[in-house]
Amino acid sequence: MAITKMMHMKASNKARIDIHLEHSINYILQPKKLGEANLAGGINCLPEMAYTQMKATKQMFGKQGGRQGYHFVISLKPGEGTPKILYDIAMRFAKEAFRGEYEAVVAVHTDRNHLHAHIVINSVNMITGYKFQCHKGDWKYRFQPITNKLCEEYGLHITPAEYSQEPKNMARPQWEREQVFTKWIEQDARFCAVNAESMEHFIFLLEKAGFEVKQGEHIAVKVPGMKRFKRLDTISDDFSRENLEVLFKYGEPELIAPIAHTTSLPVVRKACLSPYQKKCYTRMYRLRLAEKKRFSYGSAYLYEQIQKLHELQEEYLVVVKYDVRSFADLYRLKQRLQHADDELCKTQKEMYRDRAVWKRSCKTEEEVSAFEASEDDYRERLEQLKLQKKDIRDKLKAVVRCLERDGSLKEAELELRIPVDELDDITEMYQVEVPENPYRVPEVEMTAASVLKMDMEETCKGEDVAEAVSENVMAECLDASGTELLEGLVSESADIVETREDVPFGELDTVTADTDKKDELPSDKDDYMRLSVAEKVRCYGCDMNDIENAFDVVKSYFESVGMNAGFDEIYEEAKLLADYSARGEAEHLISRKVEQILQRMDVWGVNPEQLIRYPVYVLSEVFDLTDVDYYTGIKVFGTVMDRKGVHLGQQEKYELYEKIYEEGMREKKQDNIKGGR
């Protein structure tokens, strides 16, 4: 990837004060470095006269002391670009970075396996006479962004400098790791969203996948290892609360497959592995298993280790190649590799020393020619030596990591989180099993009788049910086909009052629930854990909406059956039950509200097809959303639109809802002010 390096040249205190500047210019203009491309040029000076002109500029302004110049290097990724492209990038970089106010020499070197350009500039501004100013952070904010911009025009890889604009006090490795995690978060969040049925289910799936979730106006998540929470709607607009509702409703799970970050495991004959080798293979197997069953093991919690899976593969291959069968074998292998590395370093130093001695001993042109003729052979032998050193050191690093993992607390925790009995073949990623929605409330068909009964519950306030079904109510709700239904409801209500004369109407539902509760809580933990959330709530048979009350009830039950559970486990169970109960009440409220609105629309003769043409104050009276919160109102409004077959665009639908809700809140505020007076 393209990267910009920057160095400065100090004044020499042994020879001429500006000798380092001269040597730098001479170095970058060497013909053997320029190669056949021979691309070199100057800005505000001639390359061959650059040192003399720079020296004259210093003398003219009396700035001979201090730093003599600056040396920049722009390097491309091996195999990318051409000398002409890099020359154009370097020249444009120099003009833009130094604004044409400094003498500069530009040269492209082709003597390595990657192209790189050198830029040497004078330290004195040829127009103002001021010294070139370079401050901390200029590489990130000033120079590297220029290189990135120019390289992007040619489609070359770049080194992101943008991380400096992210939260401060974050090192580059940390920033790069969080950028990788951000991409993974987007992939997993999208998979969870299209498989979720509601916002609660979506949050539940994120937490099951291993994310730490923070809710408020926005949803933010954090992966263990990240420094800060990441807002989902800053990753993608699809994750705003409004657009998430669209994904819940219209997302197609079969079109979104989970992203597999782990690579395929090496094909091995497991029967031939020693116990220690099998242990190294199992480390990779666990991470592969975690992604296959990501909701069971919380794969997001393992992002840090999944990202380094290739290191595990290197460790495993080294252990198998050198037939390491025990910890002692591994330690002996480390010593052998360390000795081999020391020998190679010694040989490399001898090559450097012999080369330098030969160079200094050259006195005649023939000797110099022989020395230069041996350059290619010397470079090839040196390159081979460096490759051997790199291979040895990579293996040594893998061995050291193996030694560290054997005593690692993270590895011990991973073994506890993902126990492995048999190493089954999991070379392919199968369909991920998505946990069911624990907040789902069984759908209850809303009949005309149940709607009328709910309306009566609102109005009678403790009156006798039979008396509540007055002629006015019958006249208002009855139609040509509803006479028998209403008569049946009156008869049913009379029977209820006759059998429960001593029960006030407000307590009828409670009595019914108590009467219907036949199930008992099991005395075995396994049987209890197999129950669904709805069955657990029904078995407890008491108010579970309050988290504190639910916690006490669950704790008492766990103690009564001898379950050894800590605070966190009890609280998690109580919260699940409380959320489910609250969800049930919310669903009941939404259903009741929807039926009331539909009834008003029918009675008042509101035409659904012309809904958008009605005045806002009329729609506010029809929907009457002042007694529900904003997000509940969205669900009520959307359900009414669907029931009436009103087809509006997503944006148009939400704009209409905003107007209706704001108008209702405004009227409610005015009523409160009048009431206060």
Q: What are phi and psi of 576, to 5 degrees?
A: -60, -45
Least confident of 95-99, 244-248, 335-339, 429-433: 429-433
For position 291, what pLDDT does the model report? 79
Least confident of 251-265, 360-374, 433-447: 433-447
The band of 28, judged by pLDDT with boundaries at 50, 70 and 90, is very high
Which two tokens mark 208?
Answer: 């099951």
Q: What number is the average pLDDT over the span 381-393? A: 93
Displacement of CA 608 from its chain's centroid (Å): 42
The band of 447, judged by pLDDT with boundaries at 50, 70 and 90, is very low
For position 633, what pLDDT does the model report? 80
pLDDT digit string, tens, across residues 130-181: 999 888 778 877 888 899 899 989 888 887 655 444 444 566 666 667 777 8
For position 271, what pLDDT does the model report? 61
pLDDT digit string, tens, across residues 68-78: 999 999 999 88
Closest CA to 557 of 566, 576, 570: 570
The band of 632, judged by pLDDT with boundaries at 50, 70 and 90, is confident
Closest CA to 315 of 334, 328, 299, 300: 334
What residues pair up with 118 in beta bridges, in sequence order?
Answer: 73, 107
Which two tokens mark 155?
Answer: 């489609």
12, 20 Cβ separation under 8 angstroms: yes
The band of 647, judged by pLDDT with boundaries at 50, 70 and 90, is confident
- Integer Cα distance of 337 and 335 in angstroms: 6
For position 279, what pLDDT does the model report? 84
The band of 503, judged by pLDDT with boundaries at 50, 70 and 90, is very low
Q: For residue 166, what are the contacts with CB-CB under 8 A and spacing of at least 6?
A: 175, 178
The band of 270, judged by pLDDT with boundaries at 50, 70 and 90, is low
For position 332, what pLDDT does the model report? 92
- Residue 261: pLDDT above 90? no
pLDDT digit string, tens, across residues 460-489: 444 443 344 334 433 443 343 344 433 443
Closest CA to 548 of 521, 570, 520: 570
For position 451, what pLDDT does the model report? 47
Closest CA to 608 of 579, 637, 650: 637
Percent of the chain at pLDDT > 70 equals: 79
For position 517, what pLDDT does the model report? 41
pLDDT digit string, tens, across residues 409-423: 777 777 777 777 767
The band of 674, judged by pLDDT with boundaries at 50, 70 and 90, is low
- Residue 453: pLDDT above 70? no
- The pTM assigned to this predicted structure is 0.45
Closest CA to 319 of 269, 273, 287, 267: 273
- Residue 600: pLDDT above 90? no
For position 466, what pLDDT does the model report? 39
The band of 14, judged by pLDDT with boundaries at 50, 70 and 90, is confident
Least confident of 24-38, 285-299, 501-515, 602-616: 501-515
For position 465, what pLDDT does the model report? 38
